Amino acid sequence: MSDAVVRIQGVAKVYQRDSQAVPVLENIDLEVAPGESVAMMGPSGSGKTTLLNLIAGIDRPTRGSVEVAGRALAGMSERELAKFRARHIGFIFQLYNLIPVLTAFENVELPLLLTSLSKADRRKHVMTALDVVGLTDRVAHYPRQLSGGQEQRVAIARAIVTDPTILLADEPTGDLDKRSEEEVLILLKRLNREFKKAIVMVTHDPKAAAMASRTVHLEKGELVPA
Amino acid sequence: MKFLRLIVRNALRNKLRTGLTVGGTAFLMFVLLFIRTALTEMEAWEGEAAKHDRIAIQHSSGLANPLPIELENFLRGDEVSKHGYQLQKMNWFGGWWQDPRNWFANLAVDHPIHRELWNEQKIPDDVQARWAEVKSGAIVGKALADKFGWKVNQKISLLSNLYPCVPELDIVGLFTVPSDIRQEQQLYFRWDYLDELMGGRKIVGTYWMNARSSADIPKLKEIIDGHTKNSSDPTETVTEKEFAAQFMAMMGNIKFFVYFIVVGVLAIMTLMTANTVAMSARERVTEIAVLRTLGFTKGRILYLVMAEGLLLSLVGMVIPLGGALLLFNVWKLSPNPQWFPFFFIAPGTIALAVGAALASGLLAAVVPATMSARRKIVDGLRQVV
């Protein structure tokens, strides 16, 4: 798997809580191939979100190396990491995390404001992303005017609008009702199968994990066989 | 500009809080503009006076004490004339027209030399000629005439608490002062007419003259004050600027208090804006972490939060500045027409307001902006607000 989208080797993460060292991840090795979708499961506190954050480049490992899209994240400055995230990472949060003062359109447009695209081009990209998630009729709606499922679909549109290399989802269905959960899972599956997006998803939900092409299990900071 | 929408929406997120902050800032900014303009107006003569080489000879015990008429002969003598010329007697009449509220600057002067000595006042030849003909003649600044609706040839009488007489004056003409319109708020009438009304008592308030050059001023002070030193009426010779400064000094250390208030106003403005920006940023810890996850750099976050502070501050400046310009510069209102016949918001004061708003906005936002930008993304995402 020399062309892996994600390559994690010997990664450990230790948090310092006052004088206490709290190990969260230990000796993690993981590769994700292009177009692959990986579900990460495990009990709370097993280090799933921490691992996802390391892949996203929003946290740094204590030991080991993380390569995403062929680039080692360890050597990058904060500024380079920010640019890297803007270009390669699409992040989907459990609680959607839309900006409440912006409309659906404006929320999806946010990552594009960091590019040199013209206003017209940005509009085209945003409408395409909203079309993919089936929300072109909600462009002018504010998050408070949308259901949870719709909010998460807007968040997915925001994650894909820059056509990132990989989508990272942290319990994307964790706050949704059954119907919305199904809609979001179908959408993620479509992004993976139809648009060939690599996806790494943290989940507790076996249904969500079933959508993935592979499932890895974390327990007490270590990858364990299923 | 791409981010303006986000900045504005964030600033308006809590409309009541933002409204109160902008309202408070606007009020304080209005106070600042008002105080600064009042000070500028009070200092205006001092600034204008510095441009000339005129000197005033006054009683060393103060302006309330008259000087002897005999001093005029000495001042016209060779010793003084080598260094100064265009001598003029001037008495502050301190009168009003019809009603004490119509108080303004009115002075009795030696009319023949007036136009040459006060050459910034533009007095037409025919007006000067008529003034010479009419003993009860008075020349009036155009702005003052406009204010009271006076016309040339109109007869007006002045009342004063300083002199037991009522000059019946004939307005022989108007003068303008293009370099400083404030000086058009004055009326001059003839010293010999006042003296006649006073029964020829030869009361002289001050003597004025032009030094031949600024280098001659110390010499004039030395000669004149030296001559009167041991007399019953010792003099104090001062430059016009020093003369003007005496009036500011009469008000005590007013400048210090004014600047103290200005600094206090700026500090309160900054703290108010800082409080609002800090609260707003604190409420958005998770959102800021999300923005950084999307690829916003620390610098971009710093810029967004700083811009928010700046926006609040600038809006809080534009509203009172616009209002003040409308009230004082366009509608020409004055908070106290006697003390401030003109109350212009000067370009320097506008620059001060803009500078103060910029500085206050940036200063207010720098701490919350830095804290927002520096917070670790994972800590921000974990935060529950």
> At A63, is the pLDDT very low, low, confident or very high (cuts 50, 70, 90)?
very high
B220 and B257 share one domain = no
Within a domain: B287 = yes
Residues whose CB falls within 8 Å of the CB of residue B324, separated by 6 or more in sequence, listed in order: B30, B33, B34, B37, B345
B318 and B374 share one domain = yes
Per-residue pLDDT of chain B (385 residues; tens, 9 = 90+): 789 999 999 999 999 999 999 999 999 999 999 988 988 887 777 777 778 899 999 999 988 899 999 999 999 999 999 999 999 999 999 999 999 888 899 999 999 999 999 999 999 999 999 999 999 999 999 999 998 999 999 999 999 999 999 999 999 999 999 988 878 989 999 999 999 999 999 999 999 999 999 999 999 999 999 999 999 999 999 999 888 887 767 666 777 787 888 889 889 989 999 999 899 888 899 999 999 999 999 999 999 999 999 999 999 999 999 999 999 999 988 887 767 777 889 999 999 999 999 999 999 999 999 998 999 999 999 865 4
CA-to-CA distance for B236 and B67, rounded, in angstroms? 11
E strand or H helix that includes residue B23: helix B15-49
Give the per-residue pLDDT at B46.
73
Residues whose CB falls within 8 Å of the CB of residue A100, separated by 6 or more in sequence, listed in order: A142, A143, A144, B13
- Per CB-CB distance under 8 Å, the chain B contacts of A158 are 294
Please give, rounded to a whole number of angstroms, the shortest distance from the CA of A137 to a CA of chain B: 22
Residue A53 and residue B3: Cβ atoms within 8 Å?
no
B164 and B36 share one domain = no
CA-to-CA distance for B366 and B308, rounded, in angstroms? 11
Within a domain: B247 = no
Q: Which residue has the tokens 């008592």?
A: B201
Structural domain harbouring B287:
4-44+253-382
Residue A101 and residue B293: Cβ atoms within 8 Å?
no
CA-to-CA distance for B86 and A96, rounded, in angstroms? 85
- Per CB-CB distance under 8 Å, the chain A contacts of B281 are none
Within a domain: B185 = yes
B295 and B211 share one domain = no
Per the structure, how many domains does chain B have?
Answer: 2
Residue A2 has pLDDT above 60, yes or no: no
Give the per-residue pLDDT at A132.
95
B299 and B175 share one domain = no
Dihedral in degrees, nearest 10, Cα atoms B264, B265, B267, B271:
130
Average pLDDT over residues A97-103: 96
B273 and B324 share one domain = yes
> pLDDT for A149-206, tens place per residue?
999 999 999 999 999 999 999 999 988 999 999 999 999 999 999 999 999 999 999 9
Within a domain: B57 = no
CB of A93 within 8 Å of a chain B CB? The answer is: yes
Across chain A, where does the E strand assignment appear? Answer: 6-17, 20-32, 37-41, 63-68, 71-72, 89-92, 166-170, 198-202, 214-219, 222-224
Give the per-residue pLDDT at B250.
64
B212 and B142 share one domain = yes
B201 and B306 share one domain = no
Within a domain: B244 = no
B152 and B16 share one domain = no
Enter the tokens of residue A57.
Answer: 């480049």
Give the per-residue pLDDT at B384.
56
Please give, rounded to a whole number of angstroms, the shortest distance from the CA of A125 to a CA of chain B: 16
Residues 340-379 of B with CB under 8 A from A: 376-378
Residue A101 and residue B13: Cβ atoms within 8 Å?
yes
> At A1, is the pLDDT very low, low, confident or very high (cuts 50, 70, 90)?
very low
**1.10.1530.10, 3.40.50.300, 1.10.645.10, 3.40.50.2300: which CATH number matches A36-44+78-224?**
3.40.50.300
Q: Is residue B342 within 8 Å of residue B181, measured between CB atoms? A: yes
B147 and B226 share one domain = yes
Q: Is residue B27 within 8 Å of residue B320, measured between CB atoms? A: yes
Within a domain: B243 = no
Average pLDDT over residues A93-120: 96
Q: Is residue B304 within 8 Å of residue B277, measured between CB atoms? A: no
Across chain B, where does the E strand assignment appear? Answer: 54-59, 84-92, 95-97, 105-109, 137-141, 155-160, 168-175, 186-190, 206-211, 235-239
Greatest alpha-carbon span in chain A: 53
B270 and B228 share one domain = no
B223 and B257 share one domain = no
Q: Which of B6, B13, B297 sits opposite A79 (nearest CB)?
A: B297
Within a domain: B55 = no
Within a domain: B350 = yes
Please give, rounded to a whole number of angstroms, the shortest distance from the CA of B379 to a CA of chain A: 10
